[in-house]
Amino acid sequence: MGRDYSQMYRERLCTAAEAVQCIEPGDWVDYALFNGKPVACDKALADRKEELEDIKIMTAVTLPPIPEVVMRDPKGEVFTYLDLQFSAASRIMQDKCDGVFYHPVNFGEAENYFSGVWDDPDKYGAVPRKAFIVRTAPMDKNGYFNFGMHNSVTYAQIKSARNVIVEVNTNIPVCLGGAREQVHISEVDYIVESENEPLFALPSVEPSEVDRKIAEHVMYHIQDGCCIQLGIGAMPNLVGKMINQTDLKDLGGNTEMLVDAYMEMWESGKMNGKRKNVDDGKITYTFALGSQELYDWMDNNSALASYNVGYVNHPLRLAGIDNLISINQALEVDLYSQVNAESSGPRQISGNGGMSDFVLGAYWSKGGRSLICLPSTYTSKDGTLHSRIVPSFAPGTITTVPRQFVNIIVTEYGWESFKATSTWVRTEKLISLAHPDFRDELIREAEKMKIWRRTNKIE
């Protein structure tokens, strides 16, 4: 018979207000990422604003509800809020509040930022955390709290924190590992039973005709037995739907972010992991963000393997997965083929996340390739059409992927490979992917930059 952990549970059970009493002025606190962000303990910490000072809080991809520590401290006088990957909520908070900042990260190496704080803090540049707070599924019979859809860096955060607080929510699915997908009660200091708030589900976004054309070009690169990584957005989910309409078979999945497309491909029989040479028979992922239907499907689903991000995203491991097709999106590309996937000038839109991990890993994969996708244009609020392929980035714009890393770029006008090409060849290829209304202007700018010759113009 297994041990009964009910007594340990009762000893650690407390209110949110009692749990956050361990936090003192000057402390650094981690909130879990994505849907792991606490709600009850966040409110309780905000309640202590008048008695605290200089509290730094770090998380990633802030999902609704907006944290109370930000709402009640818009000037950032007490709480400094650091986000590793901006979401729509993060952008709103930064626009309206003074204490919200982006925290750059290579997601695949992020566990090192936490787990190395005690043995070599100078190497990792990390700070020991006073507390880590995470929403989990209820404790199982063996004393474990499952992290649900937000594995990523959670266990590394636990190891770096002096106090571990779990906020139990019965809506969080039990997501099978993998590795580092749970914490034992013996490693937990405080247990808070929440009001079981609903989880944030991504609203469905209808793909545009441009999305459809890009997805059609992406489909050219997908063959039987490929292992697919998809990012967020209408276009990647559309790729999954298109796959279901083909005779493709034996596809595999290895992705940072699990989205609805994987559920649909698995349920249709197109994806089964049969030909994967790493984690065969499983879809490997480190976090999930999608519909409530996806979350329900994930609960105790043995087709899935939840792993820590240092495993899922490690470029060397990715390189060992045959036929890995990485599909990510960008905001704009300049004529040198540098990729911006995270900012509009100095305004942070999202973040680097694990994009560079997969760009590198997929290129080194046997039979693999990295695809970076974007619409050729966007329309501003005043109705003006703008090119997403630009001569050079505006001041303050972040280069997410340097030009030498870029493999394939896709727009609605086609795709081109950029490896082993000179600056003028890259320029020529990019202009062929641009909207026709902007091609002559791009040529003129490229001539000024001395990366274009008239004889190279594509008619």
Would residue 408 count as lying in a domain? yes
Q: Residues 215, 116: one domain? A: no
Q: Is the pLDDT of residue 249 over 60?
A: yes
**Can you spell out the DSSP letters for 393-428?**
PPTT---SB-GGG--EEEETTEEEE-TT--HHHHHH
Q: Is the pLDDT of residue 322 over 50?
A: yes
Q: Residues 153, 222: one domain? A: no
Q: Residues 164, 238: one domain? A: no
Would residue 358 count as lying in a domain? yes
Q: Residues 34, 112: one domain? A: yes
Would residue 201 count as lying in a domain? no
Q: CA-CA distances (angstroms) from residue 447 to 26, 376, 439, 452? A: 54, 21, 12, 5
Pairwise CA distance, residues 133 & 58, whole Å: 11
Pairwise CA distance, residues 145 & 101, whole Å: 30
Q: Is the pLDDT of residue 204 over 90?
A: no
Would residue 137 count as lying in a domain? yes
Cβ(387)–Cβ(379) below 8 Å: no
Task: Residue 140: give the domain boundaries.
Answer: 6-193
Q: Find, among 132, 287, 131, 265, the residue nearest to 200 by Cα.
A: 287
pLDDT single digits (tens) 127-174: 678 999 999 999 999 999 999 999 999 999 999 899 999 999 999 999
Q: CA-CA distances (angstroms) from residue 414 to 244, 363, 374, 441? A: 22, 19, 11, 20
Would residue 200 count as lying in a domain? no
Q: Residues 229, 85: one domain? A: no
pLDDT single digits (tens) 73-87: 999 999 999 999 999
Q: Residues 173, 223: one domain? A: no
* Whole-number pLDDT of residue 237: 85
Would residue 12 count as lying in a domain? yes
Q: Residues 189, 335: one domain? A: no
- Domain final residue pick, 193, 226, 261: 193
* Whole-number pLDDT of residue 113: 82
In sequence order, the 6+-apart residues with CB closer than 8 A to the CB of 459 are none
**What's the angle, vertex CA 112, arms to CA 106 and CA 113, rounded to 5?**
75
Q: Is the pLDDT of residue 379 over 70?
A: yes
Cβ(228)–Cβ(362) below 8 Å: no
Query: Binning pLDDT at 50, 70 and 90, where does residue 459 land?
Result: very low
Q: Is the pLDDT of residue 47 over 80?
A: yes
Q: Residues 62, 180: one domain? A: yes
Would residue 1 count as lying in a domain? no
* Length in residues, the chain: 459
Looking at the structure of the chain, the number of domains it has is 2
Q: Residues 452, 347: one domain? A: yes
* Whole-number pLDDT of residue 115: 66
Q: Residues 257, 375: one domain? A: yes
Q: Residues 62, 175: one domain? A: yes
- Domain final residue pick, 142, 168, 193: 193
- Out of 256, 342, 412, 445, pick the active-site residue: 256
pLDDT single digits (tens) 257-290: 999 999 999 999 999 999 999 999 999 999 999 9
* CATH assignment at residue 50: 3.40.1080.10
Q: Residues 13, 144: one domain? A: yes
Would residue 198 count as lying in a domain? no
- Domain final residue pick, 162, 193, 224: 193
pTM of the predicted model, to two decimals? 0.94
Verify whether residue 264 is a known catalytic residue. no
* Whole-number pLDDT of residue 162: 93
pLDDT single digits (tens) 302-312: 999 999 999 99
* CATH assignment at residue 349: 3.40.1080.20
Query: Binning pLDDT at 50, 70 and 90, where does residue 117 land?
Result: low
pLDDT single digits (tens) 206-215: 899 999 999 9
